[in-house]
Amino acid sequence: MPAPVKSKQRVLTIVLTILGCLLITFFGLRAFHAFKKFNGHRPPPGQVETDVELIRDWMTVPFIARMYAVPEKIIFDALEILPRENRDKSLEEINREYYPETDGLAMQIVKAAILAHQPPPKAAPPPAPFPSPTPAAP
């Protein structure tokens, strides 16, 4: 039996294999979790978004207005700010500038304004009347 030789190639083999395994485990699990989170809640083509939980800090008011098909004025009015100076600002910037005392207040206001503007969910149609037994013909 030859004595084990610690060559550079051997070290490289071990390092690459271990690093590869670690990356596979780490990113594989994360990719799997991301894949599991997919669901079918996106609106079908031609319909507007209704889920206000998808609003993010980086979004601007005109963008949100378009996404949820709500007039910009309603959102600006709810925030009590002028449209002209604030069209390009993200919700985070608006919050920092106009509501510095409360984190996330601008987003809450926008969510509430959109929810208030959305039509109430359609009531489920009443169940079909149970067919009454028809009397047998004499």
Partner 1 sequence: MSEYLLTQVINYGAPLLAIIVLIGGLGVPLPCTVLVIAAGAFARQGILPWHTTAILSLVSVVIGDALSYSLGYYSRDLVLRRFSETPRWLQAEQSFQKWGPLSIFFSRFLVTAIALPVNLLSGTSLFPFRKFFAYDFLGETVWIFGYGGLGYLFGSQWELVNEFLSNFGGLVLGVILFFIGIKQGMQWLKKQQRKVTPAG
Strand partners, 60: 90
Q: Tell which phi-psi region holds residue 29, choosing left (phi > 0), alpha (psi between -120 and 50) or beta.
A: alpha
**Stretch touching partner 1 by CB under 8 A, among 19-27, 102-110, 118-126, 127-135:** 19-27
Q: Where are the alpha helices (DSSP H) in the chain?
A: 8-37, 61-67, 72-79, 83-86, 91-98, 105-117
Q: For residues 33 and 124, which CB has a smaller minimum distance to partner 1 in the complex?
A: 33
Size of interface with partner 1, in residues (CB under 8 A): 48
Two structure tokens written together for 71 = 């007039």
Report the residue number, 9 or 102, with the smaller CB distance to partner 1: 9
Q: What is the DSSP letter of 100?
A: T
Query: Is residue 37 involved in binding partner 1 (CB under 8 A)?
Result: yes
Which residues sit at the interface with partner 1, rule CB under 8 A?
Answer: 2, 5, 7, 9-10, 12-28, 30-31, 34-35, 37-39, 41-43, 45, 49, 51, 54, 56-60, 62-63, 66-67, 88, 90, 92
